């Protein structure tokens, strides 16, 4: 190679390195914009609502007096709705992903299903609310209840769980499948004893990220009729249900009226009094902390599970 060719090659490599550095700087700046914006909003919420984060704020019902108002019914309703969401979305999401990845034949029907699942992850949440209003509230007659809300959010996060589970299954080396078949395992034994345990870190990450999205959703919950003011809790099994004056059954709470944290925050933001805006800021802190905690849990679980896996 001539000296001129070597010099040209060095110049070209140096030019590409400059492009790499420039792209890295642009990517870092883009990341910092999002992080700094979130940090600024969170600091503004903390400054506006930190004073209301007292034990009474979590144990009091909403009230027309801002100083006495709390989020008891909202956080209890959020937990119950999330329980229904997990119970409905996780089994369906994992089962659907396993079928599409390991059992479904490769034809145009499967391709159509895969395209729709991917597209559903980007559908606006209000569309799910309208679907749930017609299906769960009116056709199935579940009413404006915890069950309807949980199933609505389950539909919302179902594509996220399916996509995350499929990506986790694809990350398992083909040698694991071949070794299981070589030892005489059936397809179900291979999936249940090897693929799902090895991919559990990614599956749990997808589930928790989906739940973190669902916990802050407002539009579909408003659409199906969540209450903006509620001063009672769903009836516990075995206690007297005030609405019917008789002991509540084990699943009566599923059909109880409800509210959730984003709805309670929306209610207080719409009021002109400064004290209610302080309550809304405190509720926003609770929602953001819960979301960040769930994402941190997903990262920790993924790290622990992958660390303990022995290929």
What pLDDT digit, counting tens, does each position of 194-243 carry? 888 888 888 888 888 888 888 888 888 888 877 767 777 787 776 666 65
Count of the separate structural domains present in the chain: 2
Provide the pLDDT for residue 238. 67
pLDDT at position 6: 66
176 and 158 in a common domain = yes
Shared domain for 46 and 68, answered yes or no, is no
CB under 8 Å to 254, separation ≥6 — which residues? 84, 145, 146, 147
Q: Are residues 87 and 200 located together in one domain of the fold? A: yes
Report the CATH number at residue 106. 1.10.3720.10
High-pLDDT (> 90) share of the chain, %: 5
Q: Are residues 43 and 64 in the same domain?
A: no
Give the domain-ending residue among 12, 34, 52: 52
Q: Give yes or no: residues 101 and 135 share one domain.
A: yes
Q: How confident is the model at residue 183 (pLDDT cuts 50, 70, 90)?
A: confident
User: Does the predicted model carry a pTM greater than 0.75?
Assistant: yes
**Is residue 148 predicted with pLDDT exceeding 60?**
yes
Instruction: Name which of 171, 155, 310, 278 is nearest 217 in CA terms.
Output: 155
Residues 65 and 44 in one domain: no
* Mean pLDDT for the stretch of residues 23-37: 87
**Mean pLDDT for the stretch of residues 42-65:** 85
Say which DSSP state 304 is in: H
Q: What average pLDDT does range 255-276 have in this prediction?
A: 85
Q: Where are the alpha helices (DSSP H) in the chain?
A: 3-49, 55-59, 72-98, 108-120, 125-132, 146-170, 174-182, 187-190, 196-198, 200-215, 219-223, 261-269, 274-308
Q: What is the pLDDT of residue 70?
A: 86
Give me the pLDDT at residue 267, please. 85
Domain that holds residue 173: 55-308
198 burial level (CB within 10 Å; 0-12, 13-18, 19+): buried
Tell me 183's DSSP state: T
* Structure confidence at residue 9 (pLDDT): 66
281: tokens are 């800021």
> Is-contact 219 126, C-beta < 8 A?
yes
Q: Is the pLDDT of residue 1 over 60?
A: no
Q: Does 173 score more than 60 pLDDT?
A: yes
Q: Answer yes or no: do 115 and 206 share one domain.
A: yes
* 242 and 29 Cβ atoms separated by less than 8 Å: no
Domain boundary among 35, 52, 69: 52
Q: What is the pLDDT of residue 240?
A: 65
Three-state DSSP class for residue 182: helix
Which residue, 16, 32, 52, sits at the end of a domain?
52
Do residues 20 and 152 both lie within one domain?
no
Q: What integer pLDDT is reported at residue 64 of this predicted model? A: 84
Q: Which residue has better confidence, 233 or 151?
A: 151
Q: Are residues 207 and 242 in the same domain?
A: yes
Contacts of 67 (CB under 8 A, 6+ apart): 275
Looking at the predicted structure, is the pLDDT value of residue 310 above 70? no
Proportion of the chain above pLDDT 70, given as a percent: 90
Residue 35 and residue 64 in one domain: no
- The average pLDDT across 66-79 equals 86
Same domain, 78 and 94: yes
Residues 124 and 158 grouped into a single domain: yes
């Amino acid at each position: 190679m001539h000296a001129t060719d070597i010099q040209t090659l060095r110049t070209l490599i140096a030019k590409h390195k400059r492009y790499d550095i420039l792209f890295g700087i642009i990517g870092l700046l883009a990341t910092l914009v999002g992080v700094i914006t979130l940090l600024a909003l969170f600091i503004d919420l903390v400054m506006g609502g930190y004073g209301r984060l007292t034990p009474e704020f979590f144990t009091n019902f909403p009230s027309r007096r801002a100083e006495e108002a709390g989020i008891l019914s909202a956080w209890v309703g959020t937990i119950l709705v999330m329980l229904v969401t997990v119970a409905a979305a996780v089994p369906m999401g994992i089962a659907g992903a396993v079928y599409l990845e390991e059992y479904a034949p490769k034809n145009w029907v499967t391709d159509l299903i895969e395209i729709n699942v991917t597209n559903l992850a980007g559908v606006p949440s209000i569309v799910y609310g309208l679907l749930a209003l017609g299906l769960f509230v009116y056709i199935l007659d579940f009413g404006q209840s915890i069950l309807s809300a949980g199933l609505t959010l389950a539909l919302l996060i179902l594509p996220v769980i399916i996509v995350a589970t499929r990506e986790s299954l694809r990350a398992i080396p083909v040698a694991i499948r071949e070794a299981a078949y070589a030892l005489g395992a059936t397809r179900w034994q291979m999936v249940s004893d090897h693929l799902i345990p090895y991919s559990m870190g990614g599956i749990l990450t997808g589930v928790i990220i989906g739940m973190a999205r669902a916990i802050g959703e407002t539009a579909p919950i408003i659409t199906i009729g969540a209450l903006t003011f509620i001063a009672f809790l769903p009836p516990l099994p075995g206690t007297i249900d005030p609405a019917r004056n008789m002991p509540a059954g084990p699943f009566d709470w599923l059909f109880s009226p409800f509210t959730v944290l984003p709805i309670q925050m929306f209610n207080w933001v719409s009021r002109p009094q400064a004290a209610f805006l302080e309550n809304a800021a405190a509720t926003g802190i609770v929602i953001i902390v819960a979301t960040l905690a769930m994402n941190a849990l997903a990262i920790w679980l993924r790290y622990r599970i992958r660390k303990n896996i022995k290929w």
